[in-house]
Amino acid sequence: MNIMEKNSKIYVAGHRGLVGSAIVKNLEAKGYSNLVFRTSSELDLRDAQAVASFFESEQPDYVFLAAAKVGGIVANNTYRADFIYENLMIQNNVIHQAYVNGVQKLLFLGSTCIYPKACPQPMKEEYLLTDVLEYTNEPYAIAKIAGIKMCESYNLQYGTNFISVMPTNLYGPNDNFDLEKSHVLPALIRKMHLGKALEHKNWEAIRNDLNKLPIEGIDGNASEAEIRAVLGNYGISTSSPVGGGQEGDSVKVEIWGSGKPMREFLWSEDMADACVFIMENRDFKDVTPSTVEGERPEVRNTHINIGTGEDISIMDLANLIKETVGFQGELYFNKEKPDGTMKKLTDVTKLNELGWKFKIPLPQGILKIYDWYNK
């Protein structure tokens, strides 16, 4: 087995994102001291020449490839060309240069959106490429599937040690709370946080929030009417007219869909722990079929799902967040809006058999992320 030493040079691509920052925190906590980073302004991973120069000069021993262009349903469906082009370029450049420069092991991070739209549940690794993908994020999913195949192909042709992991829906520190682009869990936390402030007519809290992260260019300096209008655009509304209303106004938070879809959520620091565990303890040979003398079995589906193997309905999630945040108002499920896939649950048998299991249950994680958001 290939052992990662505490002074091994480790490059974390995408170190400021939700995934990368959690991996960096985990590595530092475990005493890894020789970590290498570049921000996107310092190194454009879409630029083949720049990536080649970086690898040639830095010569990392290990690589965590957590850099990607990511977004929710709307972004994925709107910027289809950007999502396929940028993700392919990033991973092609990093994986190829890892091979050229003799990197000992690489971990490529994808997403469970690689599985078919009508995938049997829970989703096992072998269900990859058995049916059509969800249309809205097909370009992103195709890029991630290409990354899995690229890692497998380089391992088979060149004997590299590149492993792919597919995390479920993640949430945690450094999450994206931009209501125009965020995923469901951080979006619900922010909407209910603002809803609660609106209930208590706590304009200071609302203005502070918008100053840190404006919505559609509206920040805390905007008028009360402008703020109410932009909050209304994102389904945070009050029964009282502008400027009127009393303490304890009835506030309503709209949630897209029926609330019935089931989703799985994993605390990002748990995910990072799984990634570091795999890099420390497992090699590509641990996820390939055993060979018999004279036979060459087909090697495919070598990626590893990372998740909890447990799911919750969007309605129950919303109520759990409502309780945690302390929002007293009404949750309105807008059935005119799309639900998306009704169930997406990972089968984590392979991961558990490799020796890792999640630690942070969802109620505890939501408490932790709301605490982080408030700070």
**pLDDT value of residue 70:** 83
Residue carrying the six token digits 């109520």: 319
- Residue 306: is its pLDDT beyond 60? yes
Q: How many CB atoms lie within 10 A of CB 102?
A: 11
Mean pLDDT of 126-139: 94
Q: Return the structure tokens found at 190.
A: 């922010």
pLDDT tens digits for 80-124? 999 999 999 999 999 999 999 999 999 999 999 999 999 999 999
Give me the amino acid identity at 296: R
**pLDDT value of residue 294:** 66
Q: Which residues belong to the active site?
A: 140
Give the contacts of 256 (CB within 8 A, at least 6 positions apart). 334, 337, 338, 339
Q: How many helices (H) and strands (E) does the chain have?
A: 12, 14
Residue carrying the six token digits 């005493």: 31
Instruction: Sketch out the chain's domains with CATH numbers.
Output: 10-175+263-310+342-361 (3.40.50.720)
Mean pLDDT of 245-265: 85
